[in-house]
Amino acid sequence: MADDRKATLVHISGRVQGVSFRIWTKTQAQRFGLTGWVRNEDDGSVTALIAGQDAAVSAMLEQFWNGPVGASVSSVVTKQASLDEAPSDFRITS
């Protein structure tokens, strides 16, 4: 049901650039059936918009704390977003 869908903007800090975090995020998001995007930020963090079923979004938020091999996540901050902001697929943006 559409009522079970939500979108969340996520800001991930720590050692998250230079460890294939964006590629890992895209792979995980697709595995969970999520749409959205992920990008590197100038301050060394990563921002992602994830959208999909509530349970899948929650599972992805837990996965962000692990990240890919080589990552060391120190912070995962979330903010509610609009489903209208999410694309129909999952993209790595610049």
CATH of residue 11's domain is 3.30.70.100
- Closest to 19 in 3D by CA, of 91, 60, 64, 69: 69
Q: How far is CA 18 from the centre of its chain?
A: 16
* Number of domains the chain contains: 1
pLDDT of 92 above 60 = yes
Give pTM, 2 decimals.
0.94
Q: What is the pLDDT of residue 93?
A: 95
Supply the residues annotated as catalytic: 22, 40
In the 8-state DSSP scheme, what is residue 45?
Answer: -
Q: What is the pLDDT of residue 8?
A: 98
Q: What is the pLDDT of residue 94?
A: 80
Question: In which domain, by residue range, is 75 found?
Answer: 2-92
What tens digit of pLDDT does each residue of 1-60 get? 456 999 999 999 999 999 999 999 999 999 999 999 999 999 999 999 999 999 999 999
